[in-house]
């Protein structure tokens, strides 16, 4: 195997790790039997991006290798949304049903147009469908990467803190995006529809890790101050058995 293929395999394996992180959240939702502290937004963005990515890869034979990682991500996002839907409030259920309905209607239209243009031998029309799916994938993937920031804004406005960032997911995301960028840039042709979303994702994950570190330091400092206050207060914060 050449260097480019090795990069693709490494990127796919990292994509598996990122995707399986959703399964841990899914298990927590099932265990708690409620969706408090969880959101369907990131999984919905993943679902949209992966479906259009799979379609784009299927009509671009050069990039079939992407379908493996996208397929696993699509499956895990689907399982997460099923569990979330089961325990969600009515408004969240409407959101999931609305987005997924619009997604599959759009996908169905693209599919019909694609095979219709193939049947008619209309290569120009086929190219338009391919580019449309590529743009939809690039936009939805980029939205998925910045979704944690959108959620963090609401969290910060409500509590003045951000606890939703995960250092592990941020690092896994950075490595995954970097591998896909390297794979794309070392291939026979640079695919901007893969390069640009992953470049956005690399930057977004790096900023997320920085924000996690910043707020983690604040929490540690507050805990140390509280502990110090308990000691200075004559041991009022200590418990003896």
Q: Give per-residue burial for 42-65: e unless 16+ CB within 10 Å, then b.
A: bbbbbbbbbbbbbbbbbbbeebeb
pLDDT at 239 (0 to 100): 40
pLDDT at 140 (0 to 100): 79
Roughly what angle, to the nearest 10 degrees, separates helices 41-58 and 90-120? Answer: 10
How many other β-carbons are positioned within 10 Å of the β-carbon of residue 153? 11
How many other β-carbons are positioned within 10 Å of the β-carbon of residue 234? 8
C-alpha to C-alpha distance for 1 and 64, rounded to whole angstroms: 16
C-alpha to C-alpha distance for 106 and 200, rounded to whole angstroms: 25
pLDDT at 240 (0 to 100): 34
C-alpha to C-alpha distance for 129 and 112, rounded to whole angstroms: 10
pLDDT at 124 (0 to 100): 77
Structural domain boundaries in the chain: 3-228
Would the pTM count as exceeding 0.75?
Answer: no
C-alpha to C-alpha distance for 97 and 5, rounded to whole angstroms: 38
pLDDT at 62 (0 to 100): 56
Tokens of 196: 């640009």
pLDDT at 79 (0 to 100): 92
**One pLDDT digit (tens) per residue for the chain, 241 residues:** 577 778 878 888 887 787 777 788 888 898 988 888 788 877 888 888 888 888 887 777 655 666 777 888 889 989 999 999 999 999 989 999 999 999 899 888 888 887 787 766 777 777 788 788 888 888 878 877 777 767 766 666 666 666 556 677 788 888 888 988 888 888 766 778 788 888 988 888 888 888 778 777 777 777 777 777 655 554 444 343 3
pLDDT at 126 (0 to 100): 74
List, in order, residues 6 or more apart from 6 with CB less than 8 Å away.
Answer: none
Q: What angle (nearest 5°) sits at the alpha carbon of residue 225, between those of residues 151 and 206? A: 35
């Amino acid at each position: 195997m050449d260097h480019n293929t090795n990069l693709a395999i490494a990127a796919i394996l990292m994509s598996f790790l990122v995707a399986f992180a959703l399964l841990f959240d899914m298990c927590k939702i099932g265990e708690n039997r409620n969706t408090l502290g969880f959101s369907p937004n990131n999984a919905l963005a993943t679902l949209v991006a992966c479906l259009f990515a799979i379609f784009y890869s299927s009509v671009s034979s050069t990039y079939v290798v992407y379908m493996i990682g996208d397929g696993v991500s699509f499956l895990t996002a689907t399982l997460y949304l099923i569990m979330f839907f089961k325990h969600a409030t009515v408004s969240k259920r409407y959101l999931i049903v609305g987005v997924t309905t619009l997604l599959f209607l759009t996908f169905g239209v693209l599919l019909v147009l694609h095979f219709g243009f193939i049947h008619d031998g209309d290569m120009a029309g086929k190219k338009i469908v391919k580019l449309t799916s590529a743009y939809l994938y690039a936009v939805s993937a980029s939205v998925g990467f910045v979704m944690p920031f959108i959620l963090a804004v609401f969290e910060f406005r409500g509590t003045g803190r951000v606890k939703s960032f995960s250092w592990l997911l941020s690092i896994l995301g950075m490595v995954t995006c970097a591998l896909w960028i390297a794979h794309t840039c070392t291939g026979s042709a640079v695919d901007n529809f893969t390069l640009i979303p992953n470049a956005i994702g690399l930057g977004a994950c790096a900023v997320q890790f920085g924000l996690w570190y910043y707020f983690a330091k604040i929490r540690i400092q507050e805990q140390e101050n509280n502990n110090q206050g308990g000691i200075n207060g004559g041991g009022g914060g200590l418990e003896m058995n």
